[in-house]
Amino acid sequence: MEKVAGRFIRYAREHTTSDPESKTYPSTERQTVFMQKLADELREIGCSEVELDEFGYVMATVPANGIENAPVAGFLAHVDTSPDFTGENVQPQIIEKYDGKPVQLKNGVTIGPKEFPEIVNYTGQSIITADGTTLLGADDKAGVAEIVTAAEFLLKSKDIKHGKIRLGFTPDEEIGKGTNYFDIKKFGADFAYTLDGGEIGELEFENFNAAGAKVIIQGRSVHPGAAKNKMINASLVAHQIISMLPPFGTPGTHRKVRRLFSPDRYKREC
């Protein structure tokens, strides 16, 4: 059985960047290419009901093992990576027993406690980074690798009793289109979890959500000598619109409700 780190590195090397300017769905053919490989792999490890649909979604099932009447649980992850930086020719590297000091990558890129204080939490552990020239793609190839590896483990481990589990892999999450054609009824889960970021043991049950909007403001250009009550500054109009938005509803100020998953702590805080 392939370990999760090795599977993640293999996935990270696949070019699956989405494209916000594309009119197709998925937005890039390379996502479909990876989805086909993923569907084949799910069949190989023993999943049933494996399907790659016309919109690039992959769904599969880990059949129930001993608890056939249990509610159906679902696990989801997206395969695309952000178009903000290149995700082609990714070269992941494992840093064994991280010592807590800054890590120097290519192109002058440094990963260290000054920029990312949370990295010291992993001192003494092995961490995986890109080489500094591309994205790593852990968002969300890590989630994909975790789900597939867990599915393989359950399919091989007959001693662990569980109900039916549905797996779902989506394209174009990074450009806000990941759920456009997702068939919830066909997925058929009674409840589901998305594996996409966060520290080990963390469970988020509420998060910031928003739709995108493109606003075009048409100003009016007038010679300054005759501008009074005539000129319309588009930048100032934009500023006025922004000032009218709820100040605590933005991602930078909205408080996420999150709990580190511990039964005692959960009972105490909820």
As annotated, the active-site residues are: 80, 173
Q: Angle 138-156/29-45 helices, nearest 10 degrees?
A: 20
CA 227, distance to chain mean position in Å, is 49
d(CA 169, CA 178): 10
d(CA 93, CA 109): 14
Whether 137 contacts 34, CB under 8 Å: no
d(CA 82, CA 174): 5
d(CA 72, CA 234): 52
What residue type is 127 in one-letter code?
Answer: I
Count Cα atoms within 13 angstroms, Cβ side, for 190: 8
Q: Angle 4-12/138-156 helices, nearest 10 degrees?
A: 140
Whether 247 contacts 253, CB under 8 Å: yes
